[in-house]
Structure 1
């Protein structure tokens, strides 16, 4: 009897707690919905009253958009509002397709101009060149317009015409272009570095990225390559599915590539390879750097976790957040962070915690002491919380101040325009070299042009002088400082000799771009790329490959 009463009491207590919990959950949910509704009503009322009473006329739509964007900035940099008028730009980012003329445009020295016509598209076919300055698009004078405004004028439905007026040197030209569907390839270049080593440059993860890589890989294999370099440096990422399929080119069917975990069950997914690989054995290097992000990090990280590739370069950006596009009213949408992704070892490579911000509103980096250890298939230690770290690190290439100055002041660019007008052709991207004669022409052309700069040593002496004055030591050491100044004061003429090789390299890239476009620039860059050199050293040494992929080289 006592036990029966006891059981009933326990059952009654459990029932009471369940009902109470449900009521509390219902109340909390209702409270949250009420809070949202209340604040939305306040916001709408505020905009209405501002529109009625504010002393000057206001643009209510602009104010609301500013408010939305300010609200989203409190979350993370990847959650963003996309109004209807920006839908085409957003579609371009995800699909790589748009209706237009096929040219990269930008502003140089206050002039809007063509920076790169894409090969085979209307701008290039109609004869537009790098350096052509935009004067008019149709009847609109665009000399004072923003680059984005000019880009919008050039875009439009396929098979419609747009007239542009450009200035080339002293000449003014009018060109009529027929807009076409522009599909930007995710693989702007692939080829052979040497007789046995293939190279694929993957610049984006828009629609068909995996198909583009697959096609390049199959073609290279038909040419007899026995090893491969996949370059995702400077690749900002894109469509997750494309990253999974690219990994699938190199690992077997049924393997997990990435999983997404978020607040809602509907966003939790496991992405596995679904096809037979193109080549699961070819020795593989993936090149990464600090601007490799998101889908690039999934590809690099998954291949590292399976010990399928050697990563060479620099630590990646560290974006482990997944965004989902959600439609809103009036054809607008929001791209919102819904989950984090985790690669096969179990690590998340997100480097910034946006839930913990400093007084300036910046997210906090994850300290090394809180980073966790995970293991690759072969037992190598890898860490979470700060991007993907390469198996072999390389140093960034540095340039002398004179080279930076010549590039920043557009002297390299302008000489490229001059050279192209005067020379109909040059040797191929790998064969072309700036001769001493051409370099001397460049030096003579620089005569009278402004490109002054401060060297690192000169800046250090300036800092020394300031600190000496601040700390009252200047009078004691001013003679020595003046002597140092005299000894290290740079001579532009001498620097043009001292740093001739690297200035020639910058000139070569600029000149090659005029004749061979984006593909030629990439191909030419392979000649002087330290990451490529490091890749070849490792790929041609099987024992080194085995050592890197089987020995733990990372420590917490």
Structure 2
């Protein structure tokens, strides 16, 4: 839920102490030396274990037949030690920490573009608004040919390698040479890298004159600010009902989730509570009031990818009878981690508490069978048919909780929605799945926009949404591309999924011009969970807390 990290140098004694101190618990706020002294009386095995680990490293360094890398060995040992605790206690090297923090801190340093690799070339999907690339004139559709006068296109680079080369410290410069609109002349841009926002609210828009939609993809340091901005913007457009999408949200900062839940609940309502071995990690979090959104009917979308901090929000709103939950059973992560920085820039993310929803539900799924089985749980759910039939979900009646307005909720293994929406078991869906897995639809959309950008842009989004149609000829071209990519043609599948495929392609084309704001309103037309939620707002309205008393 809360994470950060740093690295470990091959200083044998200190490394060993750091590694083994984790085994008996590290207390935030006290020095490592204090913790070491506190731990010895509690666990006399500690001193001998530290000495043993140090002895092993010394013998390896002095006596082993080949040269060794003590830093790598010690990091591997620490990582393996953490795996013995639970699936979410982890060790991160300094580099891993840096990459991880980009998402949680809500900003990164670089040039500020969204891009995709196509035909061994980086295509700019869109420059990030206000970012360095946009300020110098980089546009959607530009193809990056060279970086700092070195060939960039056609070099077999992977997406992660391109990302690494384009990112860099604030204030450093990079030269991009791009090809635009298939013109022969190349364009050069000198870009000074800067801080670039990394948004956690992917999109917000008005579904109709009353229903506002907000999609939160993770809980970062900036999520609550983004959420409030989106909410107020939708209110100004007439929103009186909220559809909050937490599908695929893996969590993030617990305090960000608490802040979002706080503004949707009445003052004094319990949001979540934690229990840890140390009393400092046992806390109850109540809604404090403030900039309230608590008079708006709310429906929350969740699925098997909704985890951790996102489950705190869903659980708080469900247990307080504040929102309807729609979708499929969530991931089931009820453990709280804190970041513990180590001396070399690495970091431990150590589980220090369990969290419970307001009704007392502990929603952590079991992990007693080991980490591999734990991480393959979602595959097991699929094979057991849980994604297709709610009857295949088994809950222990001992974990049943009854809410004040009559709803039944369960603990142990995620948040179960009030309304289950199965994955559509479309006949012959495998063909469409293969097209998407090989990015055939996305690539065709990008190439189509590259050829027709001016005409599409001239239509404007409303015109595109209302009038643009994907033709049968376009689908035939996709089939031809798929055949070249090794996806065998399935005529029955194409016939069965034709309508859905056309809608997807239209959404992908829109994304390459109007980004997420253009993609989701089209995509949601065939999104079954989304469409189900729209039918339930009358019921969601019955959950709104009454703040006035009718006069006789």
State the alpha-carbon separation in 1 of the partners of residues 397 and 50 from structure 2. 39
Structure 1 position 215, deviation (Å): 2.0
Please state if 1:157 is matched with 2:192. Answer: no
Residues 87, 371 of structure 2: 8 Å contact kept:
no
State the alpha-carbon separation in 1 of the partners of residues 312 and 235 from structure 2. 24
Residues 189, 201 of structure 1: 8 Å contact kept:
yes
- Among candidates 513, 516, 525, match of residue 515 of structure 1: 513
CA offsets 1:306-361 (integer angstroms, 9 cap, x no match): 11111111111111111101122123221111101111111111112x3x235967
Structure 1 position 52, deviation (Å): 3.3
Larger radius of gyration: 1
Q: Where does residue 31 of structure 2 map in the other structure?
A: none
Instruction: Check 1:65–1:144 CA distance in 2 against 1; reply closer, same or farther (3 A cut).
Output: farther
- Among candidates 421, 424, 438, match of residue 450 of structure 2: 421
- Among candidates 329, 335, 344, match of residue 349 of structure 2: 335
Instruction: Check 1:70–1:370 CA distance in 2 against 1; reply closer, same or farther (3 A cut).
Output: farther
- Among candidates 419, 423, 443, match of residue 476 of structure 2: 443
State the alpha-carbon separation in 2 of the partners of residues 357 and 498 from structure 1. 41
After TM superposition, list the pairs within 5 Å mapping 1:87-126 onto structure 2: 87-104=97-114, 117-123=127-133, 126=137
Q: Where does residue 40 of structure 1 map in the other structure?
A: 50
State the alpha-carbon separation in 1 of the partners of residues 506 and 343 from structure 2. 51
Q: Secondary structure at the match of 1:282?
A: coil
Instruction: Check 1:118–1:398 CA distance in 2 against 1; reply closer, same or farther (3 A cut).
Output: farther
State the alpha-carbon separation in 1 of the partners of residues 341 and 133 from structure 2. 34
Structure 1 position 303, deviation (Å): 0.7
Structure 1 position 32, deviation (Å): 6.0
Structure 2, unaligned stretches of length 5 or more? 1-36, 378-392, 546-552
Q: Secondary structure at the match of 1:368?
A: coil
Residues 284, 309 of structure 1: 8 Å contact kept:
yes
State the alpha-carbon separation in 2 of the partners of residues 364 and 371 from structure 1. 26
TM-score by length of 1: 0.77
Q: Where does residue 319 of structure 1 map in the other structure?
A: 333
Q: Where does residue 502 of structure 2 map in the other structure?
A: 504
Instruction: Check 1:30–1:181 CA distance in 2 against 1; reply closer, same or farther (3 A cut).
Output: closer
Instruction: Check 1:237–1:108 CA distance in 2 against 1; reply closer, same or farther (3 A cut).
Output: farther
Residues 121, 152 of structure 2: 8 Å contact kept:
no
State the alpha-carbon separation in 1 of the partners of residues 151 and 72 from structure 2. 25
Please state if 1:528 is matched with 2:526. Answer: yes
Q: Where does residue 80 of structure 2 map in the other structure?
A: 70
Q: Secondary structure at the match of 2:344?
A: helix
CA offsets 1:177-218 (integer angstroms, 9 cap, x no match): 221211222222112111111111112211131222222222
Structure 1, unaligned stretches of length 5 or more? 1-26, 455-490, 550-556
- Among candidates 392, 396, 412, match of residue 369 of structure 1: 396
Structure 1 position 162, deviation (Å): 1.9
- Higher RCO structure, 1 or 2 (CA under 8 Å, sep 6+): 2
CA offsets 1:482-508 (integer angstroms, 9 cap, x no match): xxxxxxxxx645644443212212211
Q: Secondary structure at the match of 1:261?
A: strand
- Among candidates 104, 113, 127, match of residue 138 of structure 2: 127
TM-score by length of 2: 0.77
CA offsets 1:431-481 (integer angstroms, 9 cap, x no match): 536966744044146437435557xxxxxxxxxxxxxxxxxxxxxxxxxxx
Instruction: Check 1:294–1:248 CA distance in 2 against 1; reply closer, same or farther (3 A cut).
Output: same
Count of aligned positions = 483
State the alpha-carbon separation in 2 of the partners of residues 168 and 108 from structure 1. 15
CA offsets 1:411-443 (integer angstroms, 9 cap, x no match): 222222321221124245565369667440441
Structure 1 position 268, deviation (Å): 1.1
Q: Where does residue 234 of structure 1 map in the other structure?
A: 248
Q: Where does residue 12 of structure 2 map in the other structure?
A: none
CA offsets 1:488-530 (integer angstroms, 9 cap, x no match): xxx6456444432122122112211210123322233233222
State the alpha-carbon separation in 2 of the partners of residues 360 and 204 from structure 1. 24
After TM superposition, list the pairs within 5 Å mapping 1:344-423 onto structure 2: 344-352=358-366, 354=367, 356-358=368-370, 362=374, 368-369=395-396, 371-398=398-425, 400-423=429-452
Please state if 1:80 is matched with 2:90. Answer: yes
Instruction: Check 1:83–1:308 CA distance in 2 against 1; reply closer, same or farther (3 A cut).
Output: same
Q: Where does residue 475 of structure 1 map in the other structure?
A: none
State the alpha-carbon separation in 2 of the partners of residues 215 and 548 from structure 1. 22
Instruction: Check 1:369–1:375 CA distance in 2 against 1; reply closer, same or farther (3 A cut).
Output: closer
State the alpha-carbon separation in 1 of the partners of residues 285 and 60 from structure 2. 49
Computed over aligned residues only, the root mean square deviation of the Cα atoms, in angstroms, reads: 3.5
State the alpha-carbon separation in 2 of the partners of residues 120 and 328 from structure 1. 36
CA offsets 1:100-153 (integer angstroms, 9 cap, x no match): 123456666877766665344334554354694676467596945554444333
Please state if 1:200 is matched with 2:232. Answer: no
Q: Secondary structure at the match of 1:230?
A: strand
Q: Where does residue 203 of structure 2 map in the other structure?
A: 189
Q: Secondary structure at the match of 1:322?
A: strand
State the alpha-carbon separation in 2 of the partners of residues 115 and 48 from structure 1. 53
